[in-house]
Structure formats: structure tokens, C-alpha cells
Structure 1
Amino acid sequence: MTTVAECLPLARKACDYLTASPDPYHAVNNAATKLRVAGFECLQARKPFAGKMRPGGKYYYTQDDTAIVAFTIGTQLDVDRPYGFKIIAGHTDSPNLRVKPRSKRTSAGECVQLAVECYGGGLWHTWFDRDLGVSGKVLVRNGSSIESKFVLIELPVARVSNLAIHLATADERAAFRVNKEDHLQPIIGTKSVLEEEAKEQLQDGWTEFQEPELLSLISAELGVEAKCIVDFDLCLFDMQPAAIAGIKSEFVHSGRLDNLATCFVSVEALLTHAESSLAGDTDISIVILFDHEEVGSGSTTGACSPIMSEAVRRISSALSPKSTEDFHSAILRQSFCLSIDMAHALHPNYSNKHEKGHAPELNKGIVIKTNRNQRYATSLISDHILREVARRESLTPPQAFVVRNDCGCGSTIGPTLAQNTGIRTVDAGMPQLSMHSCRETMGTMDLMNGLQLFLAFFNHFREVDNQLSEGYCCDIEQR
């Protein structure tokens, strides 16, 4: 059995990734850097894939810098026979505060504030009294062209301050309620001569609505003139780095565990698979990380987009140029998707919130999530497949989660992907506490549990599926 000590090297790498990835742009860029260093070839998604790939190859491409597709092609893949895609799907976004298109905000008194919007369903009270940095993507004018630059300001430049207890009424103290428009606007400084100078320098149709101090901060970080900044997509993030915690180092505390822990582990699994298991692989192993799951996935980079179905079609068409529509449909039926998102661990202070027979615990393994009302995509067959690949590697058996009948159930990208592609899907994830908090908690050992299960999926899915398919067909014939 794996020990906490054996899991610490992986946990430290995870903490580095989490701290360096405060937004989807950096999450994808850091993943792409890992892949590139490991010898994965970057494909240009705007150009045809025909002639660009071969069995034994390793590839990746990105979509709008916040979604990424990375895959390996088994050396034993037969391009003339239907093969399968072994898919791990996750998402790169997390609830946070995002700077509004017009960042300037009229404030009372001498404080300078940013205008921000709540992204996703965060536990917003956890964002108070945090030291907040700024990160994201900036468009910069360079002569006649527009360049994209990632910005990461690792300074505590913003803060959402609580109201002093002496100024709160008894009712306000008894039941803290956040007005998201009025109470979550961060303070970034006080009015100064610098601001007045910036106002004189930056007057056009866009900059006049931006907070001058913010533009000055970005321009200094990027080494460009403030007047060259054309637009931005910026997030606020908690400056406290990810940490290994607990008396025996059994926990990881970090922002964005939902769902960057999945992003990290899935990419690590693909890298390990590419290094050790391509020689005997007859299929395609692929990781797809989407954006915008926290707000419904309805975007060009979300799970409602054609990213996954397009990836399967484009890759298979490039490998098998003579393939027909029927050939492509057979590939879909040979494929399988792990929809991986974090799961709710049993909270010792709120144990009544879990259904008694389905209460996953930290450091006890991956959780399979089931909902008969199709809030999760798990089915009889997909549940069995994931449990069987774990059994074949003698791994910690997956835990089970079902929401209580008197409680609403969240959802994932799983049902959307299954509906859009017809690919069999199971919803699973690593257990955690404080989901959607500014700072969350998971088990150190569950990072390793996730890595081992994802590798088992890449290595054993085909044999498990073949065995299952043969038995199923025989059963139908007997009827």
C-alpha cells in the first residue's frame, strides 16, 4: 500500500503547478510547457492535421489559450481497423473574481477600487481579507499587430476587506450575507498624483474607462507602455501558495483544487504513459481540458463546444484518410471517457450532509459519482469499467458518491460530453473539502491514487472493454 511519504514528491509537484496557475491561461500554458519539454509536438489547430501524425507520436494543441487537447498514438494502432480513444476530460476554470470590462469604479472617500464580477458559484465569504494578486491575458499593440501576453502579478495589490464587527448590527453579525455587487469590490490603493498623471496620458475610447493604477501595474509587469494595452481578461487570486499540511503531511491546501488538481494529475498520467507504455498500445490516449465548466460550459472552449467530437474526428481522419462515416462511428463506440471533476469528501463537522452509504473520505481513493437523474454520466457499464481497470492493477477500489434525496445535485461536463458524442462516460474525481472556497483541501494520497488509476485506465481499458463487449454480444445472441 502506498504511504504518505511516497506521495510527497508528486504532491510537491502538484503544489508548484497550482501556485503557478492562478487562472485558465496559466493552467493551460504550464501544462503545454510540460508537454513540450517531454517531446510532445505542438499542432496548429487552424491547419489540417493530415500528414502531421503517426502511430507512436505525441501531440497537443490549444484552443484560445484556455483549453488544451493532448494525446499519444499507440505504436500498435492499426489505422485500417476501428480503434478507440481513451479520454480523460477535466476543466481549467475555478470560481473567482474577474475584472469587469470597465475596471474603473467610483469609490467613496480616498480608496481606489477595481470593478470586479463574480465568476461561477464561489463561496464568496472566503474571499474577504485575503491578499489578492492579479493574473490573466493582455492584448498589447505592437506597431500594426496585436500580441497576446500572459500577466502574473504576484503582489498583494488587492483586498476585499471585512466590515469591522463594531460597525455591524446584531442581525448582520448573526447571519453574514454578501452583497456581491457592493461588498466584493477590492481596494487596490488610495488616490494619488500618479493616478492624475495617468488620466492625462490615457484618454481614448477604451482606456478612459480603465483604472489608471491597474494599467500602470500591468505595463510595468509586461515592460510595455500603458498606452499600448488594448484589452485584457484578468482574474484575482489568493496570494497564499499551495501547501502540504496536516500533522503527517496528509493534506494539500490550495486555491483551485477544483479542478486544477485534475488537470495536473491527468497531464502527469499522459506524460508517464507516453514514456513507458506506447509500445504496446493499440489506441489513442487523450487528455482534454475545457474552460467555463463553472458557468455552464457554453462557449468555444467549453464542453458544449465541438472540441471533443472534433478532436476525435480530426485525429482519426488524419490517421485513417480513407475512413468512412461508418468507420468513424465505430471509433466512437470503441472509445471511453473519464469525466474527472473533484468530489465531495465527508466533512466531520457536517456529516449529516452525506448519504450514509455514500460518504467518500480523503486519502481513500478516487470517487465514482452516480445520479439516476443524469446529473452525472455514470452508467452500469461505465462504473464497471473503471472499477475493473483499478482491480487489474490492485489499486485502492474507487469510492462511491450519491447525493441525498433531500439535497440538490451538482453536475459536471460528463453528461454534456456523453450527449454530444455518444461516447460512454463515467463521472469520477478526487475527494476534497471546501469546494469552491478561495482555499480548498484534498488528501495528499489522492493525488497518487488519481495518477495510478488514470495510468491503469490508459493501460487496461482495451482488454477490459474487449472482454465486456464479447460477453455482452454473447448474451444478446442467447436471447
Structure 2
Amino acid sequence: MTSKRQKTKTAEAVSNGSPSFPQAAQNMLDFINHAWTPFHAVEEASRRLVAAGFQKLSERAEWNLQPGGRYFFTRNMSTLVAFAIGAQYQPGNGFHMLGAHTDSFDDGSVDSLRHQPEGPCLILHVVRSLMLISAQVKFDKPLMHIPMLAIHLQPEIREKGFNPNKQTQLGPILAVAAKASLDKQKKSDAEDLKPESKAGEEKKEEERHHAALLNLLSSQLGCTPEAIVDFELHICDVQPSTLGGMEDEFVFSGRLDNLAMSFCSLQALLDVHGDPASLADDANIKAVALFDHEEVGSASAQGAGGPVMRDTITRVAGVLSGGSEGAVVRALQSSFLVSADMAHALHPNYADKHDGQHQPRFGQGLVIKHNSNQRYATNAVSATLFRELAKQHGIPTQDFAVRSDMGCGSTIGPILASGLGCRTVDVGLAQLAMHSIREMCSSGDIGLAIEHFTAFFKEFSSLDASINIDGLSPPVLQGTLEDTPCNHVQ
């Protein structure tokens, strides 16, 4: 293990000759500026994994896995799981996992310009050719806008606050009526030249989707509007993410929750196992799981509440065990999950919203989250293990518990912990303006998170071997139970 450093790192520190922590933040912004939707986040993560030599698997095909191999797969193009198998892996050895989510809380998902508030202007569409195929389109310019009514036309805001009707007052504007009518007429003229049966089919498509939007999509794809079978349209702020502050100490970006943790998790895996030779002496499996649909409860085929992670562990452990007894269960009990999701930093204008003893601040590293009602999955054991990794490297950590008189959010941590039965700690970087179009965090914290996650992948095995909770023999203690003030507890 690396020896403990004399001084705790600060946000401006440089780690072992690697790029400076602000550079790590800039690398993250490059990721986020592409990842406008969960689909694009997975696309970019996949590109980076392939560039590092990871092999893409299909869940529908047989997996021929080998110790020392590096693999990943995607589900629905919006969830990704990547894993690297130690060359010394033995049946029953654990998975050391980082889990995050690819979706963000935004203003609206749009269908035919009628919307349902949930998720982030980008499109995943299905195109009809010789077979049905799916692809993505990204527009780098603003396509539509949701204008707010001038405040002097709604004076009630001063007393009641801004609370728009999500059905009637958040409709995005795509095109002026004259332009839309023109596009519709062009399509109608084209239909008149086709057989009656075909024209009737295409008229149904036009009724479901805006003609001007279909024309715009088809021009990007190089196909006819009729070839577009269906699509999912996501609206998001097109302003690029950026560094800011007097010394670039801040990150200003949409979707920090939770693309920041997705990026840091992926980067740590690539830093540790980007080279296959790094697995030569490793006996465990290192994994990163990036899930969709966390912001709406995770209950989907590609969400953390679905079977994605258990399917992964069951298949991998099963393939590598050769029929060894209880290989999957033993692997789960030997595993450890870091649920990584952003945390609430102390807001200088709303300091009373935090407990006096739990006030996460910028530049102080990852926040370990606690909640006795299991809104977070952290317990004393998992928190200690994760905190000790940081101490060995001089990396700062913080602790957070919500005020007892306030509601507490949740993460994928409790969902996965209850579904897998493995030890879990909930952590995240401190941020302000969570769920806003423009969120904010410390640029220095990005580097601290990557280094902490890197230490987790490199050294958790040896640290885990030093703790005994459910073993056959108790750990050796200084003194006896009778020597402690709690000897009356049975």
C-alpha cells in the first residue's frame, strides 16, 4: 500500500505527475459537453472504453470471458456496465464496483411537441430500412425554446412564486406557423404522387410527429421522412459547460448530477486498467455501472432497480466458476459497491438548510452520506473502509446527514444494496444548484474523486482483508469486553 502522506491534498494539488486537478475537470467537461442525454453519455463512454481496448459484449450472445480480460456492454443504449477481470481471479472472489447514473433531472421530454416533464435537444430515433435500426442525432444549435411569460403579465408570482402548469405552460416553440404549414404542404404534395395505401400509412406518421421536425431529422440522417419510424426527443440547455471563478476553481454545467460521477467512475477504471497488463496480479473484478432512470425511481429494465447488475454478476461469476458451489453468492458477499451520486454543498445563502455538524464544502473531497432510514446505504463498516482508503493517500473526505426536520433524497445505493446483498457506501461530490439548468461544483474536487476511486480499484482488496465482521473468529482487540464501559450490552 501507498504510505500515508504528511499533508492532506487541496483542490489545487497535483497528483503524482498526472494532469492537474483543474485539468481533470476540463476533461470531465469534454465528456459532459458531448453527453447531452443518457444515450450520448453511454455513446461517449463506449467510445472511450473501445479506445482503451475493452471488448464490447452482447447480452444476447454467449460470453466467452477470460481472466485478464476487459469487457463492457450496453442496455437500451442508455445504461452501460464495464468490468475488468483480474488475471488471478478465483471463483467466489468479489466485484469492486462504482455505480452512477446517466440521466439528469431536466425540464421536459418532448413528443410531437407535447411534453412530459422528466428528462433533458437530442434525439434517439428508429429508422426503417431493410431492417429496423436505431441511431442518434445531435443538433449543436438551439432548435426550440420555452419562453417564460413576462413577469409584469403575471404579478401573482410575487406572492405565490413561479409554479407553471407543466401541461399547458411549458410547451417548447419549434417553428413559426407559416414555416410549419409550408413543410406540411410539401409533404402533402409528395404524398399525392404515391400509391394510396402508402400515402395513408405516412399520413399516420405525420399525425404522430410534427412534419417540420421530421423533415429536419431526415435531412440530418440522409433519409426520407417516411423512413423515420419513431423517436425520443430530449430538450436540454445547449450552452457548453465551462470552468469559471477567479482561478477556474468552479465548474458551471448542466447535468453535473450525475454525469460528474459517471465521468469520474469511468476515468478511474481507465486510469487503473486502461492497460491490460495491470490485471496480471489482480484477483478481483473491477466494474463501473452507469444506469439510466435514477431520476424517476430506477424501476426499469435499464435502471438500477432492474436486473442489470445481478445479471452481470451472475453471468460473469458463473462463466468463471466452472460450476463451483455457491460461486455467485460468494462473489456477492465478497463484493463492495460505491454508489456515487452528487451531494448538497453548504449554500452560503441558505446555511440553515444544513445541520451544523454536516456542512459539505467545495474542495474538500467526496462526501460520505448517512441516513438511518436507509435513504443512503452507508453503514459504519462501509464508511470506515472507504474513508480509510482516502486517509492512506492524504485525500480529504466529508460526512453528511440531512437535518432531522427535512426530507432526504435517495440514490441507487439502497436499491442495489437490497437487490444484491453486498456492502455499499453512498458518496458524492458537493455541488450547488442541484437539478437546475446550470449546476456548480469545485473543479478541484473532480481530481480528488478520480484519485479516491483509483485508490478503491487498486487497494480495496488488501484493506478489505484487514476487517472481520461476520467471520468465524472475532478480531483481536486490546483489552477485553469487561474492560469497556459497554459490558452490559449482550
Q: Distance in 2 between matches of 1:461 and 1:173?
A: 54
Q: Match of 2:203, SS? A: coil
Superposition RMSD on alpha carbons, in Å? 1.9
| Structure 1 residue 476 displacement after superposition | 7.4
1:20 is aligned to 2:20: no
CA contact (8 A) 1:160 1:186 kept: yes
1:91 is aligned to 2:114: no
Q: Distance in 2 between matches of 1:233 and 1:351?
A: 40
Q: Write the deviation string for residues 79-102 of structure 1: whole angstroms up to 9, x where unpaired.
A: 3x421100001110012244444x
1:380 is aligned to 2:392: no
- Counterparts of 1:235-384 in structure 2, within 5 Å, are 235-275=234-274, 277-324=278-325, 326-384=326-384
Residue 7 of structure 1 is matched in structure 2 by 21
Residue 390 of structure 1 is matched in structure 2 by 390
Q: Match of 2:235, SS? A: strand
Q: Distance in 2 between matches of 1:402 and 1:216?
A: 51
Amino acid at match of 1:195: K
Change beyond 3 A, Cα 1:226–1:249: same
Q: Distance in 2 between matches of 1:13 and 1:459?
A: 22
| Structure 1 residue 168 displacement after superposition | 2.0
CA contact (8 A) 2:53 2:274 kept: no
Q: Write the deviation string for residues 372-402 of structure 1: whole angstroms up to 9, x where unpaired.
A: 0111100111111101111222222x20110
Residue 88 of structure 2 is matched in structure 1 by 76
Q: Match of 2:468, SS? A: helix
Amino acid at match of 1:38: A
Q: Distance in 1 between matches of 2:253 and 2:189?
A: 41
Q: Distance in 2 between matches of 1:470 and 1:348?
A: 40
| Structure 1 residue 2 displacement after superposition | 4.9
Residue 123 of structure 1 is matched in structure 2 by none
Amino acid at match of 1:295: V
Q: Distance in 2 between matches of 1:73 and 1:207?
A: 49
Q: Write the deviation string for residues 294-324 of structure 1: whole angstroms up to 9, x where unpaired.
A: 0001100001111111111101111122222
Q: Distance in 2 between matches of 1:47 and 1:281?
A: 27
| Structure 1 residue 268 displacement after superposition | 0.5
Q: Distance in 1 between matches of 2:152 and 2:370?
A: 47
Change beyond 3 A, Cα 1:201–1:355: farther
Residue 226 of structure 2 is matched in structure 1 by 227
Q: Distance in 2 between matches of 1:207 and 1:401?
A: 51
CA contact (8 A) 2:122 2:234 kept: yes
Q: Distance in 2 between matches of 1:214 and 1:286?
A: 40
Q: Distance in 1 between matches of 2:420 and 2:242?
A: 38
Identity of aligned residues (%): 39
In structure 1, which of residues 169, 180, 184 is the aligned counterpart of residue 166 of structure 2? Answer: 180
| Structure 1 residue 470 displacement after superposition | 7.6
Q: Distance in 2 between matches of 1:216 and 1:13?
A: 35
Q: Match of 1:189, SS? A: coil
Amino acid at match of 2:141: L
1:139 is aligned to 2:126: yes
Q: Match of 1:207, SS? A: helix
Normalised to the residue count of structure 2, the TM-score between the two structures is: 0.88
Q: Write the deviation string for residues 270-296 of structure 1: whole angstroms up to 9, x where unpaired.
A: 001103642332100000111100000
Change beyond 3 A, Cα 1:95–1:470: closer
1:437 is aligned to 2:451: no
CA contact (8 A) 2:92 2:317 kept: no
Q: Distance in 2 between matches of 1:476 and 1:279?
A: 31
CA contact (8 A) 2:109 2:118 kept: no
CA contact (8 A) 2:11 2:364 kept: no
Higher strand share: 1
Amino acid at match of 1:11: A
Amino acid at match of 2:221: L
Q: Distance in 2 between matches of 1:452 and 1:281?
A: 19
Q: Match of 1:60, SS? A: strand
CA contact (8 A) 1:98 1:234 kept: no
